[in-house]
């Protein structure tokens, strides 16, 4: 009974599932009981189910896995159907891990009346007794069985399934889907492994996946698909630096710089340089191939024929003047007073004077560096990405780097192995050594414990120490040679009490010795005055001093003999106390 209580109070944390039994058909064509007698009128039949641990020979006893009692399901031969208070299948819930094997007893009983329960300890009412033992894995598939007795037959099926949120071979692994600040995942239907919701990553799917291409160094996100720039950066991918706010004609490679474009100078790139530009430049403030002329203060644009304005931005030409550069097609409009240029691929602007920056129109993804080589855009990808636009994340798990059954989780230019129990290391290639945890106490020597497939760790204890982890001290009594384990509190307390009694006895004897010596000293002084010896003392007085020893004035007093006798008596008293 004590073991049963302990078992029930400790297994609730280990797993959860249910054993199901479905009764299909029962045959008792002659309407007989187990003892051969006939039922009165018809055999009103109900069943008792008992589930217990695996036994080589199934015997009646405690149904430690569960039991159930059905109502009357029919008379003689019948097929089990749902109805009334009986709902198929019979369910026996588990609050601990499924062991993978079982013993099952199904008893058919006769109910003389309509009232239940009937006394199932009365063998006169038993119709049939069926007992099996089986190995059974967790799953939704039913196992069909047919059992026959002397005059009956029972068809039934059974299975073991996990409760909701429980997984694994013994339904002992729990996984509850969640979508909150502690994680964003579902659970794999087969083994209960975490499966991150779209847009999340990490061990518990708590890390959001930022916008594809978002700079890892310059941007971050708190929700999937975001790319929030850190101070000093901008752009959809946080890869564009912010130049100094007052910078007018400058650029930057790092935040808050102001690197002047060609033709400009000054602290804020708002002044023309002191050298003139003899040819048009892409960074020149003058448009339509105007030449920038630097002045002492500022600059001036020298416009080509057909253009005017402070930056040569206005055209005075018509299509007859061939204003379109780079073979652009000119089209007249507004009755010939203006025109429009149809630019060839790679060029843009009012007069097709600007080359299209392919890196701006079609940037590289995932932080790739865009390069123009021979008029062709090329993307130099960061580690972990590939493709023409660096849009493909390289799967580092493709080579199966995780050993010993480890699960590979792909990351950006990296991977992580989720190792099975007993293994560790980046690739699950290192067996855990139990002895490395130093389980043995008090100088015990640890052996074994090398990992899966090897003997478990064992502690070899030094003399005077015992226990599975050498955690107890052994005490040996001087009388009887009995050994008391250091873990036994009663033995240790009696040894302590005996030692205390011996110490008290020693103190008492020392006090008696002191009194005796003092008395002898005084008596000797008196004897020297009158010449009498201690032989005149009464027998009682001599016995109260030190038995077996006398003192004579003619012989020196032997203190060592007295102390030796007292020591012997003390040893004997202490020995008897212990």
Strand, coil or helix: what is 523? helix
pTM of the model: 0.41
Round to whole Å and give the CA distance between 120 and 560. Answer: 86
Strand, coil or helix: what is 57? coil
Fold of 319-355: Laminin (2.10.25)
Phi then psi for residue 506, to 5 deg, are -65, -40
Q: Would you say domain 17-167 falls under CATH 2.60.40.3510?
A: yes
What kind and span of H or E run contains 272? strand 271-272
CATH architecture of structural domain 175-208: Ribbon (2.10)
Cα dihedral angle (183, 187, 191, 194), rounded to 10 degrees? -30
Q: Where are the domains of the chain?
A: 17-167, 175-208, 286-316, 319-355, 438-472
Round to whole Å and give the CA distance between 228 and 328. Answer: 41
Q: Look up the CATH number of domain 286-316.
A: 2.10.25.10
Round to whole Å and give the CA distance between 468 and 463. Answer: 14
Round to whole Å and give the CA distance between 104 and 19. Answer: 11
166-181 b/e with 16+ CB inside 10 Å = b?
A: bbbebbbbbbeebeee
Strand, coil or helix: what is 367? coil
Digit-by-digit pLDDT tens for the chain (578 residues) are: 333 322 332 233 446 899 999 999 999 988 899 888 998 888 889 999 999 999 989 988 889 999 999 888 888 888 876 555 677 899 999 888 899 999 999 999 998 876 666 777 788 899 999 999 999 999 999 999 999 988 899 999 999 999 988 988 888 888 889 888 888 999 887 778 888 999 899 888 989 999 999 998 899 998 898 999 999 999 999 999 999 888 888 899 889 888 888 778 877 887 766 544 445 555 677 877 777 877 666 778 888 777 788 888 777 777 877 788 888 899 888 776 678 899 988 788 888 877 777 676 667 888 787 876 656 777 888 888 888 888 888 888 988 899 988 999 988 888 899 988 777 888 988 777 777 777 888 888 888 766 666 677 789 899 889 998 898 887 665 554 444 444 444 444 566 677 888 889 899 999 999 888 888 887 766 655 554 444 444 444 444 444 434 344 344 444 444 445 545 554 444 444 44
Round to whole Å and give the CA distance between 544 and 491. Answer: 38
Round to whole Å and give the CA distance between 456 and 414. Answer: 35
The per-residue DSSP string of 26-67 comes to: EE-TT-B-TTSPBPSSS-EEEEEEEEE---SS------TTEE
Asked if 17-167 and 175-208 have one fold, the answer is no
Q: Look up the CATH number of domain 438-472.
A: 2.10.25
**For residue 108, cis peptide bond before it (omega within 30 degrees of 0):** no
Round to whole Å and give the CA distance between 287 and 310. Answer: 9
Closest CA to 191 of 172, 210, 178, 216: 172
Phi then psi for residue 385, to 5 deg, are -130, 155
């Amino acid at each position: 009974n004590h073991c049963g209580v302990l078992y029930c109070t400790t297994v609730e944390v280990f797993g959860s599932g249910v054993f199901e039994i479905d009764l299909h058909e029962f045959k008792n064509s002659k309407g007989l009981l187990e003892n051969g007698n006939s039922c009165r009128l018809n055999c009103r039949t109900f069943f008792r189910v008992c589930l217990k641990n695996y036994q080589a020979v199934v015997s009646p006893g405690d149904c430690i896995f569960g039991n159930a009692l059905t109502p009357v399901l029919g008379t003689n031969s019948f097929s089990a159907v749902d109805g009334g208070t009986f709902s198929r299948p019979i369910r026996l819930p588990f609050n601990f891990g499924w062991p993978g094997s079982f013993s099952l007893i199904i008893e058919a009983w006769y109910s003389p009346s309509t009232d239940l329960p009937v006394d199932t300890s009365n063998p006169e009412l038993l119709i049939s007794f069926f007992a099996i033992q089986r190995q059974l894995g967790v799953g939704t598939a039913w196992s069909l069985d047919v059992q026959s007795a002397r005059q009956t037959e029972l068809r039934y099926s059974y299975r073991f399934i996990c409760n909701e949120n429980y997984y694994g071979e013994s339904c002992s692994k729990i996984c509850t889907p969640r979508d909150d600040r502690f994680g964003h995942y579902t659970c794999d239907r087969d083994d209960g492994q975490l499966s991150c919701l779209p847009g999340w990553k990490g061990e518990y799917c708590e890390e959001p996946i930022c916008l594809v291409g978002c700079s890892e160094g310059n941007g971050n996100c708190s929700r999937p698909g975001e790319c929030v720039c850190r101070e000093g950066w901008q752009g959809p991918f946080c890869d564009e630096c912010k130049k100094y706010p007052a910078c007018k004609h400058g650029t930057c490679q790092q935040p808050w710089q102001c690197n002047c474009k060609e033709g400009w100078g000054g602290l804020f790139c708002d002044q023309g340089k002191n050298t003139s530009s003899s040819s048009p430049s892409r960074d020149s403030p003058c448009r339509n191939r105007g030449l920038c002329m630097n002045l002492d203060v500022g600059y001036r644009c020298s416009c080509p024929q057909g253009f005017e304005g402070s930056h040569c931005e206005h055209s005075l030409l018509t299509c007859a003047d061939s204003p379109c550069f780079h073979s652009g097609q000119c089209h007249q409009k507004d009755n010939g007073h203006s025109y429009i240029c149809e630019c060839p691929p790679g060029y843009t602007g009012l007069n097709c004077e600007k080359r299209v920056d392919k890196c701006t129109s079609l940037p590289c993804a995932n932080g790739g560096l865009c390069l123009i080589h021979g008029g062709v855009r090329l993307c130099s990808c960061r580690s972990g990405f590939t493709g023409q636009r660096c849009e493909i994340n390289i799967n580092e798990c493709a080579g199966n780097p995780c050993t010993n059954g480890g699960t590979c989780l792909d990351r950006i230019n990296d991977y992580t192995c989720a190792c099975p129990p007993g293994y560790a290391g980046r690739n699950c290639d290192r067996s855990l050594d139990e002895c490395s945890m130093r389980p043995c106490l008090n100088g015990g020597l640890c052996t074994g414990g090398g990992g899966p497939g090897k003997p478990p760790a064992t502690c070899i204890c030094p003399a005077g120490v015992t226990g599975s982890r050498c955690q107890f001290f052994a005490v040996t009594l001087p009388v009887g040679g009995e050994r008391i384990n250091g873990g036994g509190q009663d033995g240790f307390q009696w040894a302590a009490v005996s030692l205390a009694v011996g110490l008290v006895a020693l103190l008492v004897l020392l006090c008696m010795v002191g009194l005796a010596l003092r008395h002898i000293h005084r008596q000797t002084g008196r004897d020297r005055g009158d010449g009498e010896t201690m032989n005149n003392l009464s027998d009682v007085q001599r016995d109260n001093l030190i038995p077996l020893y006398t003192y004579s004035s003619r012989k020196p007093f032997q203190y060592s003999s007295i102390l030796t006798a007292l020591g012997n008596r003390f040893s004997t008293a202490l020995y008897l106390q212990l």
